[in-house]
Chains A and B, each alone.
Chain A
Amino acid sequence: MTDYGHDLLFGTFVTPAPGAVELAQTADRAGLDLVTFQDHPYQPAFYDTWTLLSYVAAQTSRIRVSGNVLNLPLRPPAPLARAAASLDILSGGRFELGIGAGGFQDAIAAMGGRKLTPAQSVDALAEGIAIIRDLWDTDTRSRVNHDGTYYNVVGAKRGPAPAHDIAVWVGAYKPKMLALTGALGDGWLPTMEYVPGGPAGLPDANARIDEAALSAGRDPAAVRRLMNFMRMDGPPSSWIDHFADLALNHGISAFIIGGDDHAMAEALAAEVAPAVRELVKRERGA
């Protein structure tokens, strides 16, 4: 039994292509908590995810938006911090920062990004998150300096300050990335289809995140466990027990579903979310 006690979030995982804005509006109207977009700038059929996020934030009114996950190698940390804080301010505190180390090195290089080994890209992400958090922190007026292996920031002014505490959610699968998530992240944002071992792999991944959090002196519960599902089969009503089980036994507290389907989003909000919340509340209360 693992449950970090977070409130439950429900959202959609939308392909950043024509139709995405309408899907986000449906999710917003339906009352979902999150609408998220992958970030593969080298995929010609896709929009630039940052442009899309900015536009979607303006075209929705209450739903939170996030990259799922943004590609750090192509979105260097200092400009990203400014853009993210700006979007949070403009949207009234509705932006969260899903971020990853960037997977497809050749494609990244073709877009003008730097080619790193997987190990290097994990280190680069750790540096990037530190820079982003520093730039967001306007409690002190000192300039930001980072003399890193991958990123250098010299005497940067802080700010703007985000409208709310933007959560940093990390897309992670391998041990090094899971450790980084536990040490630095506010959330873990993987995709079920890619988790090694599927649901059976969750205890191991959670344990690694917990351990890393503890050794960084953090409460493991400070790291929310989110989960994408690229596809869910069967009618939405059949997902309820599965989600409640993942929430109560694997600590998953956000369910983000792909499939680009308006009716699915509506059913997720109207049927699945309340039923899962009810089941989980009952069990947690017991």
Chain B
Amino acid sequence: MTSLDLALASPEELVAAARDGDVVLRDSGEGLDPLTTAVWLAGRTSGTKIGVSFEASSDAMREKTLDSLETLTGGRVVVDADPAAARALRRDGIDYDGVPVPALEPGDRSFRGRRSTYLRGGSPGLVLQPRTPSEVAAALEFARRHRHLPLGLRSGGHGISGRSTNDGGLVIDVSGMNTIEVLDPSARLVRVGPGATWKQVAVSLDKYDWALGSGDYGGVGVGGLATAGGIGLLSRAHGLTIDHLRAVELVLADGTPVRASATENPDLFWAMRGAGANFGVATAFEFEVDEVREVGWAKLVLVSADLEESLKQYGAVARNAPRDTTVFLVTGPPRQGQSVIQLYGMVDSDDPDVVISRLTPFASIGMLAQQQVVITRYADVMGEAADVGPEGQHGRGEPVARSAFVPVLTDAFARDAARLLRSGQVYYFQLRHMGGAITDVDPGEMAFSYRTPEMSVAAMGGDRQGLDSQFDRLAAHFDGLYLSFDTDLRPERVADAFPPPVLARLRSLKHRYDPTNLFRDNFNITPSTPFTPFATEENS
């Protein structure tokens, strides 16, 4: 490490020193400006670190600069944070001296990229980053000592319903557990860590001509989606993501590592597929994946002056589509009476004629304005998601979203959905065509039990009350919801996510596996108090 005096060093000397190894810039108030020089050196060199101190015109400007330094230089400009200042950012009620695993606290540089998620702004007091199941157990022991604080579980950071970040609480972030390995090529059995993204999974499987249907966005993480459902572009052809799960390993609230499959802890295996976030921290998933070669991938943009009619037609076309075809519809509030409708869909076929014949009926539900149809790889479709770089995720605020399953897309539903969009309370409205292979699985097989709806609806709004008041008006058309797309915290939503017998079973399993309700960041199932005529440990 070379220390360089900014009053004396020439640009050439600075670059030469920084090419040789890490440097520290010393400032005596004369000569080159420390921050400017540090950033410039980072831009001129690669790999080496540049240590510097600088003054900013305000705390907010300092924060802004630190953010940009992290992003632009990939953390290579190291600002010697005054340790006292860093400690001042700590939150109350956290035993910072007793943190058992690698962790980030608010004064740490890399904390910035981890405090928020893709859609949600946050400022947790501590982000624990366990790398192994035993470190997860240690993190959970720490969490049990901090029952007074919110606890979020985080894998890929794309939670909507899942509060994987919070304000002043703890986050257990398993994004580092992201390995992907093939266990048995002949059985197409793969083992995936919760921190992998679906884009990474798709790339790994692609070379075998395999794919595992996930969602529609490759940036989403395995941990959150594979514990909830996974309604995606291959769902009608191959089923939900969780339909492919053969085993899952998790750490329970008390720190016990367990494996759940059809033969090991089958109750837990049932619960983990649909309500997983209530039962433990998943540390590995084993999936049987599908053989998928080229697929047809389409993005169509249509314009419609009669949204109600277009929705009806979408329903009719979708209803008659073969199961190799999955087409989602997205629209927003109509402008001057015109709705812009985006359709995007996948056909599990590499035959252009088949692809075109499957998509053609969809193209007539409005006036076709743009179309893009390609024969491509599932991995390329997932690859459209941007990579998250060292800058991490910088969501702000709280997403406002509702979800529902629609058993049949009726004319009345189309009418009311069009009204919902005209209300202006929904800026993003999506219909996902279900059916096909989703219906092959018996509803009793796993906690996710809505197998027969024709459509899944998701709506995002800017205002909680505004969205709820409009969305609630459609309740008569709904039966159930997909928890991953809903941020409503009113208790009746949990009952929508799980029909009564399912919820009752989940509550009794919750009592068995997480009696103190440690895991509660995502559609919390409260443990049932079992009826016992005699005093037990819990109620004595």
Contact = CB atoms under 8 A, between A and B. Distances in A.
Interface of A: 18, 21, 41, 44, 47-48, 50-52, 54-59, 74-76, 79, 82-83, 85-87, 89-91, 110-113, 157, 159-160
B137 to A, nearest CB: 37
Nearest to A44: B396
Contacts, number: 96
Interface stretch (B36-44, B377-385, B461-469, B476-484): B36-44
A41 B40 CA distance: 20
Given A21-B72, A52-B68, A83 B35 contact: yes
A47 B64 CA distance: 7
B71 interface: yes
A159 B71 contact: no
Contacts of B40: 54-55, 57-58, 87, 90-91
23 contacts: A18-B391, A21-B72, A41-B60, A44-B396, A47-B67, A47-B68, A47-B72, A48-B64, A50-B35, A51-B65, A51-B72, A52-B72, A76-B57, A79-B55, A83-B35, A83-B36, A86-B37, A89-B11, A90-B32, A91-B40, A111-B58, A111-B61, A160-B30
Contacts of A54: 35-36, 39-40, 43
Interface size class of B (residues with CB under 8 A): 20 to 34
A77 B202 CA distance: 52
Given A48-B67, A55-B42, A57-B40, 18 more contacts: A48-B61, A48-B65, A48-B68, A51-B39, A51-B68, A52-B68, A52-B72, A54-B36, A55-B39, A55-B40, A55-B43, A55-B72, A58-B41, A58-B42, A83-B35, A87-B40, A90-B32, A90-B37
A162 to B, nearest CB: 12
Most chain B CB within a 10 A radius of its CB, from A50, A51, A86, A160: A51
**Top 6 closest pairs, chain A to chain B, by CB:** A112-B58, A58-B43, A54-B39, A86-B33, A48-B68, A51-B68
Contacts of A18: 71, 391
Contact of A79 (B33, B44, B59): B33
B254 to A, nearest CB: 40
Main secondary structure of the interface of B (DSSP, over half): helix
A112 to B, nearest CB: 2
Contacts of A110: 60
Contacts of A86: 32-33, 36-37
A76 to B, nearest CB: 5
Contacts of A112: 57-61
Most chain A CB within a 10 A radius of its CB, from B31, B36, B71: B36
Nearest to B39: A54
Contacts of A157: 29-30
